[in-house]
Structure 1
Amino acid sequence: MTSPAKFRKDKEIVAEYETQVKEVRAQLVEQLKCLDQQCELRVQLLQDLQDFFRKKAEIEVDYSRNLEKLAERFLTKTRSTKDHLLKKEHSILSPVNCWNLLLLQVKRESRDHATLSDLYLNNIIPRFAQISEDSGRLFKKSKEVGVQLQEDLMKVLNELYTVMKTYHMYNTDSINAESKLKDAEKQEEKQMGRSGRQQDDRQTPRSPDTLTSIKTDEKPVRRSSVKKIEKMKEKRQAKYTENKLKAIKARNEYLLALEATNSCVFKYYIHDLSDIIDCCDLGYHASLQRALRTYLSAEQNVETSKHSGLETLEGAAESLEANGDKQKLMETYNNVFCPPARFDFQSHMGDTMGVVCAQQPLEVELLQRCQQLQSRLSTLKIENEEVKKTMEATLSTIQDMVTVEDYDVSECFHHSNSMESVKSTFSESYLSKPSLAKRRANQQETEQFYFTKLKEFLEGRNLITRLEAKHDLIDKTLEESQKTDCCLSSGRRNSAVRKQESGEAIPLMVKSCIRFISRHGLQHEGIFRVSGSQVEVNDIKNAFERGEDPLAGDQNDHDMDSIAGVLKLYFRGLDHALFPKEVFHDLISCVSMESLHERAVHIKKVLQSLPSKTLIIMRYLFAFLNHLSQYSEENMMDPYNLAICFGPTLMSVPEGNDQVSCQAHVNELIKTIIIHHNTIFPGLQDLQGPIYTIPGAGDDFCDSPHCEPPLVEEPAPDTVSVRHNSEDVTVALTV
């Protein structure tokens, strides 16, 4: 039976989990309240703007005096606002900043009162009404998406609770079964002790009558009892083994669910909330900017003397920026939008193993599950990427709709300032066109399609996050258990690739990619900087892993950026970076040397300690990069740009160092090696192995120490000429 202490422990664990979930639930509720409050503040702001321009139009006749009163009225209203949160918003949000500057600008206004009055009533105010309508609709749709995401998040938390309860239940059963097994073993030992005493009694001389009595009474009882105890022990042993396996499986499921839940929660707070706020702000800032620009255009055509004040307001309108306001909002309500504490593993009493178990017979099951997850993730990522592209294209369409430059009303001032003339001009303006209703319908239809794709994308990303968390945890567990080598990314190299790389100085993947780029891509703009197709990268990589060469021959039907991505992926996927961490500080120390000759000599000295196979690969790679940099005017990739692309891949910054400053030194180091590779790396006489040659000058590399095909074109031995940023820079270097 389980002790009372165990029950209390279980209750404490459950109570702690429920408390944490309760806090998350309360936070989710506050998030929706916060978004609702933002909607109310925005509607109120737009209503204030409409009221302002309406009143301003009425008092244009008595401009000097009444307009001043109007400005003071709204400034006083802003200063006397009792709502603390509204005051807070007034101090940080860019639309409110524009509103405040607009009130100050009102004091400078003059002339053309009739034209301005008509524009206020028939152009600017309808725009604010339209913005208010759009904002309310977008807030409603965004809130629906947010509620759905919150429900999904709570469902994940409930699933974690169920898995945790199952884990504790199976561990309880395991402990009980173990206790019963120990009782059976004690009974067996006791019975065996009794048998020994009876054996001693037999050896003691007794009368015939006494001996007969003992044999008659004890022998049948002892045999039956021993057999029964042995049978009971076997059953309890089997039961204990079964319950122990169930407990281990339950713990694995709990840890996997825990990892997935934490990833899902992190994704929601870091990504989903940001996306929802973006949806709430969709088109709001741009539309408000259009309305304010309409006002600015009118004012600038009325009187040039007001330019100084209007330029200030124009700057505020230009600074209307959704991301900035989103960041300010999340910082203001940090307690509402910050992610909760990570859910920790709540171990069962007596269970000290807080990691996934990969021991037999679970290793095969975990391996199959890892492969299934990897296969499913590949499909999901491709599908979700397509959805993302569609969503981004739709978003771009919406942004084009709301950023159309229709705020210029200068034509209204090209004619007489009479009311009849103004109205006649306005009848052909933006808001009076017959196509307005159709454009509005198209905008709403596009918005609906965007939210459909957004929901599909977020749900897909949600699932990918959970599956990746499980896959990564299982993969890490299997790697630590089996201690197998990885190739490129998290996949495993097959036997063909391992055999190939062990027998060749330059791996086939490196040699083939460089050969292809040298033949077809030296003038390709943005090579190694522009990302290629992930689908094609995976296809090419998988072909190499099968021992094939998909780039063989002279066919040029592959995407050049994808080929470049495969080459970078190879070096990024190595177990250890091409430049070992042991020589990191020795190499970085040379960056401070002003003399290029001393720098090159120092690098050469440090690299001499590396294995010859590593030096051969370095020599081959940097000769190719130097050759590629000579086409920088066409491909826009000079040595420094190439160093930026390859620096993080070839030389990782050790932990404990400043990543930003060290990465700048790494890039400078790689640039130096690219430029002076011929001085730094030994030639064929000192290091036998393949060397990179210019395409068309023979084979791609020569294995013979007597074969010296032309290397990358180099200047005279005492100088190295490098084209950098379209300027010829010659650096003197004594060899």
Structure 2
Amino acid sequence: MTSPAKFRKDKEIVAEYETQVKEIRAQLVEQLKCLDQQCELRVQLLQDLQDFFRKKAEIEVDYSRNLEKLAERFLTKTRSTKDHLLKKEQSILSPVNCWNLLLLQVKRESRDHATLSDLYLNNIIPRFAQISEDSGRLFKKSKEVGVQLQEDLMKVLNELYTVMKTYHMYNTDSINAESKLKEAEKQEEKQMGRSGRQDDRQTPRSPDTLASIKSDEKPVRRSSVKKIEKMKEKRQAKYTENKLKAIKARNEYLLALEATNGCVFKYYIHDLSDIIDCCDLGYHASLHRALRTYLSAEQNVETSKHSGLETLEGAAESLEANGDKQKLMETYNNVFCPPARFDFQSHMGDTMGVMCAQQPVEGDLIQRCQQLQSRLSTLKIENDEVKKTMEATLSTIQDMVTVEDYDVSECFHHSNSMESVKSTFSESYLSKPSLAKRRANQQETEQFYFTKLKEFLEGRNLITKLEAKHDLIQKTLGESQKTDCCLASGRRNSSVRKQDSGEAIPLMVESCIRFISRHGLQHEGIFRVSGSQVEVNDIKNAFERGEDPLAGDQNDHDMDSIAGVLKLYFRGLDHALFPKEVFHDLISCVSMESLQERAVHIKKVLQSLPSKTLIIMRYLFAFLNHLSQYSEENMMDPYNLAICFGPTLMSVPEGHDQVSCQAHVNELIKTIIIHHDTIFPGPQDLQGPVYTIPGAGDDFCDSPHCEPPLVEEPAPETISVGHNSEDVTVALTT
């Protein structure tokens, strides 16, 4: 008979199995709920997309109508008969051309946005509706398949339970038969021992007495022994039969156990992934097509707008004062052409139309010519000075009105809070406190310029008048000398003015980690951003020659290239750092909710690996843990690092779903990064190099990628003048 302790143990085994099956059944129910939830979210997302584009279509059509009204309002005004000829002639000027192109651009935008609204309503929204319908239908069919697979899995678990119970029953019968056989053997031994004691008695008896005793006991002894032997043989046969049944039942149980584990693993690794794939069948591709349709529509609108803006930009670049002045004068040639010269009008028959240089007026003309020459020399010097001041003032005004303050890109760099355009624009050009001061300075400079312009024009008019008199007198007197010295000097000044214009840790691994620990802990996107392939190859080749290109305190290497060299080393190993033999044992821990339990399981599995491999793992993951502590600066938390290193350190065996298994691998690597100190043995238990955190002096980013502090440039120096000064406000920039 089985002992109470064994009976309790059997009950515990059965209870444990039932608990495990119960957990699996609950997990299967949750899986279906999760898929239901995903389907609901998908349908809701598609409905929201339809509502969004329906509303956007309304906005686009309203915007199109408003643009159409705006353009028509001003186009009608330009087409009015009033002053039509004047407007037609004015249209050749560059500002008017810009205005016309601007109105045409608005008309084009109106048509484009109307087309965009039509595409939203009649193309994109029906696509989302079709995707929603297809997704619901495919999910329903996929769920039916999933339910069938779950029923098959539960059937396998029930069969395992039946086989296990059969094994327990036959094993119990075998144990009971063995116990009965042992009991029969003990009875036989006891009977045989009793017979032996009777034969060994030493009490002397007469031959007649002995013969009488033997004749009386012989039938009794033989009957008892024969009966015991028969019982023993029967129990022996029963034990043999039960033992054989127990062995066969155990074999069947082990076969069923292996088959059940295979089915469970297959369901969780392959079937679930296939079911999810069925649920997603065509969803992402269809959504991609719908969104690409939206992008194509928007990009075509942008292309059309960009084309119109390029034309307008060309017209804006063609805004040119001298060209418009020439066109204006050519258009109104009769208005701006000089009139005919005034002819000498004789009086009372006086026909002499030239000056008389004969005596006694010759001396007076000579004296007057000398006076005019002296006066002209003084006026030209004075007027040249006025001209210099005027030109400098004009240059200052041009600098004021041509300042490149039209870039409003910063206004469109909206933050996540989506602050209003008004608040963004309020910090731009129009709200700067210096605007009023700049405007006042500009107006003051303009006033000074016009004062000097008036003075210069008046001086030039006087010079022109005096030069005409001087030249005529000089011509009359027949003098050939020229008095242009001051003018030549002025021309020289003008010319000058125009000219002013093999160990435990491989050397490659240790050196790269040391460099990154010193200079790259705060480098954003470390291991995620690709470096220069040329520099990666140069550094790798140097290591292969036995050199250490990263030795010393120099930090002029590209940090992303150094990270690329480290990943390249592990990617280039003949066998991944985590052997394929432990893949399934390691992946099985991902289902554990407790990270601490995962770490204990991983530690147990990794104990079978060689010491050298464990040393490299310990060194690498200690570094990755240290790097993840700077995730706020480098944007690389343990999960992001796991995404970068998962495919490199642990390859997914062939025949497994790469996508689902890779997600498990990344979760596993993340767990090892977080609990590396629990998983890997310390230096007392595993002799070898240990990664040490750099000291406080190294705990900062001194790489060339770190941005230097901003230094404010000094404001341009200015020389300000008032109305009473001959100087001018000139911006001096260095």
- TM-score under structure 1 length normalisation: 0.37
**Residues 681-703 of structure 1: per-residue CA shift (max 9 Å, x gap):** 99999999999999999999999
Distance 1:446 1:734, change over 3 A: closer
Distance 1:515 1:240, change over 3 A: farther
CA apart distance, 1:4: 1.1
Q: Quick one: distance in 1 between partners of 2:182 and 2:518? A: 74
SS of the residue 2:686 aligns to: coil
**Residues 276-303 of structure 1: per-residue CA shift (max 9 Å, x gap):** 1111111111111111122222222323
**Residues 198-227 of structure 1: per-residue CA shift (max 9 Å, x gap):** x53676422567546533542211000011
Q: 2:569 aligns to what?
A: 570
Distance 1:376 1:217, change over 3 A: farther
CA apart distance, 1:25: 0.9
Q: Retained in 1: the 8 A contact 2:393–2:730?
A: no
CA apart distance, 1:58: 2.0
Q: Retained in 2: the 8 A contact 1:123–1:431?
A: no
Q: Quick one: distance in 1 between partners of 2:609 and 2:482? A: 25
CA apart distance, 1:148: 0.7
Q: Quick one: distance in 2 between partners of 1:456 and 1:280? A: 87
**Residues 492-527 of structure 1: per-residue CA shift (max 9 Å, x gap):** 999999999999999999999999999999999999
CA apart distance, 1:624: 47
CA apart distance, 1:142: 0.6
CA apart distance, 1:233: 1.0
CA apart distance, 1:60: 2.3
Q: Retained in 1: the 8 A contact 2:174–2:239?
A: yes
Q: Quick one: distance in 1 between partners of 2:632 and 2:689? A: 29
**Residues 247-271 of structure 1: per-residue CA shift (max 9 Å, x gap):** 1111111111111111111111111
Q: Quick one: distance in 1 between partners of 2:54 and 2:250? A: 67
**Residues 398-437 of structure 1: per-residue CA shift (max 9 Å, x gap):** 9999999999999999999999999999999999999999
Q: Retained in 1: the 8 A contact 2:523–2:705?
A: no
1:109-508 to 2 correspondences below 5 Å: 112-197=112-197, 199-200=198-199, 204-207=203-206, 210-211=209-210, 214-304=213-303
Q: Quick one: distance in 2 between partners of 1:172 and 1:361? A: 163
Question: Which deviates more from structure 2 when the two are superposed, residues 471-480 or residues 667-676?
Answer: 471-480
Distance 1:81 1:337, change over 3 A: same
CA apart distance, 1:654: 17
Give % identity.
96
Question: Which deviates more from structure 2 when the two are superposed, residues 185-194 or residues 78-87?
Answer: 78-87
Distance 1:707 1:513, change over 3 A: closer
Question: Which deviates more from structure 2 when the two are superposed, residues 613-622 or residues 686-695?
Answer: 686-695
Distance 1:643 1:176, change over 3 A: closer
Question: Which deviates more from structure 2 when the two are superposed, residues 678-687 or residues 187-196?
Answer: 678-687
CA apart distance, 1:62: 3.5
**Residues 657-709 of structure 1: per-residue CA shift (max 9 Å, x gap):** 99999999999999999999999999999999999999999999999999999
Q: Retained in 1: the 8 A contact 2:397–2:446?
A: yes
CA apart distance, 1:373: 129
SS of the residue 2:466 aligns to: helix
Question: Which deviates more from structure 2 when the two are superposed, residues 29-38 or residues 502-511?
Answer: 502-511
Question: Which deviates more from structure 2 when the two are superposed, residues 276-285 or residues 91-100?
Answer: 91-100
Distance 1:284 1:575, change over 3 A: closer
Question: Which deviates more from structure 2 when the two are superposed, residues 326-335 or residues 235-244?
Answer: 326-335
CA apart distance, 1:481: 135
SS of the residue 1:732 aligns to: strand
CA apart distance, 1:243: 1.4
Distance 1:570 1:290, change over 3 A: closer
Q: 1:83 aligns to what?
A: 83
Q: Retained in 2: the 8 A contact 1:94–1:320?
A: yes
Q: Retained in 2: the 8 A contact 1:145–1:276?
A: yes
Distance 1:257 1:213, change over 3 A: same
Q: Quick one: distance in 2 between partners of 1:182 and 1:312? A: 109
CA apart distance, 1:592: 42
Question: Which deviates more from structure 2 when the two are superposed, residues 599-608 or residues 370-379?
Answer: 370-379
Question: Which deviates more from structure 2 when the two are superposed, residues 281-290 or residues 515-524?
Answer: 515-524
CA apart distance, 1:304: 2.4
Question: Which deviates more from structure 2 when the two are superposed, residues 269-278 or residues 94-103?
Answer: 94-103
Q: Retained in 2: the 8 A contact 1:94–1:321?
A: yes
Q: Quick one: distance in 2 between partners of 1:354 and 1:697? A: 102
- TM-score under structure 2 length normalisation: 0.37
**Residues 583-629 of structure 1: per-residue CA shift (max 9 Å, x gap):** 99999999999999999999999999999999999999999999999
Q: Retained in 2: the 8 A contact 1:330–1:337?
A: yes
1:10-49 to 2 correspondences below 5 Å: 10-49=10-49
Q: Retained in 2: the 8 A contact 1:71–1:103?
A: yes
Q: Retained in 2: the 8 A contact 1:263–1:465?
A: no
Q: Quick one: distance in 1 between partners of 2:16 and 2:562? A: 52
Distance 1:31 1:321, change over 3 A: farther
Question: Which deviates more from structure 2 when the two are superposed, residues 61-70 or residues 175-184?
Answer: 61-70
Distance 1:462 1:156, change over 3 A: farther
Q: Quick one: distance in 1 between partners of 2:606 and 2:323? A: 47
Q: Quick one: distance in 2 between partners of 1:360 and 1:31? A: 128
SS of the residue 1:660 aligns to: helix
Q: Retained in 2: the 8 A contact 1:285–1:320?
A: no
Q: Retained in 1: the 8 A contact 2:167–2:250?
A: yes
Matched, 1:656 2:655: yes
Q: Quick one: distance in 2 between partners of 1:320 and 1:414? A: 30
Q: Quick one: distance in 1 between partners of 2:726 and 2:175? A: 77
Q: Quick one: distance in 2 between partners of 1:28 and 1:457? A: 96
Q: 2:97 aligns to what?
A: 97
CA apart distance, 1:61: 3.8
CA apart distance, 1:185: 1.0
Distance 1:694 1:14, change over 3 A: closer
Question: Which deviates more from structure 2 when the two are superposed, residues 455-464 or residues 85-94?
Answer: 455-464
Distance 1:699 1:558, change over 3 A: closer
CA apart distance, 1:79: 50
Q: Quick one: distance in 2 between partners of 1:472 and 1:186? A: 161
CA apart distance, 1:117: 2.1
Q: Quick one: distance in 2 between partners of 1:472 and 1:165? A: 136
Distance 1:545 1:315, change over 3 A: same
Q: Quick one: distance in 1 between partners of 2:642 and 2:162? A: 51
Distance 1:40 1:421, change over 3 A: closer
Q: Retained in 2: the 8 A contact 1:345–1:354?
A: yes
Distance 1:321 1:604, change over 3 A: farther
Runs of 5+ consecutive residues of structure 2 not aligned to the other structure: none
Distance 1:176 1:112, change over 3 A: same
CA apart distance, 1:118: 2.0
Distance 1:502 1:620, change over 3 A: farther
CA apart distance, 1:155: 0.8
SS of the residue 1:92 aligns to: coil
CA apart distance, 1:176: 1.0
Q: Quick one: distance in 2 between partners of 1:424 and 1:6? A: 80
Q: Retained in 2: the 8 A contact 1:289–1:320?
A: no
Q: Retained in 2: the 8 A contact 1:714–1:720?
A: no
Question: Which deviates more from structure 2 when the two are superposed, residues 110-119 or residues 427-436?
Answer: 427-436
SS of the residue 2:487 aligns to: coil
SS of the residue 1:428 aligns to: coil
> How many residues are treated as equivalent by the alignment?
734
Q: Quick one: distance in 2 between partners of 1:183 and 1:356? A: 169
Q: Quick one: distance in 2 between partners of 1:367 and 1:191? A: 178
CA apart distance, 1:236: 1.2
Q: Retained in 2: the 8 A contact 1:264–1:466?
A: no
Q: Quick one: distance in 1 between partners of 2:354 and 2:240? A: 20
Q: Quick one: distance in 2 between partners of 1:139 and 1:471? A: 105
Distance 1:363 1:732, change over 3 A: closer
Q: Quick one: distance in 2 between partners of 1:121 and 1:325? A: 47
Q: Quick one: distance in 2 between partners of 1:84 and 1:322? A: 24
CA apart distance, 1:113: 3.2
Q: Quick one: distance in 2 between partners of 1:159 and 1:490? A: 116
Distance 1:254 1:694, change over 3 A: closer
Q: Retained in 2: the 8 A contact 1:588–1:669?
A: yes
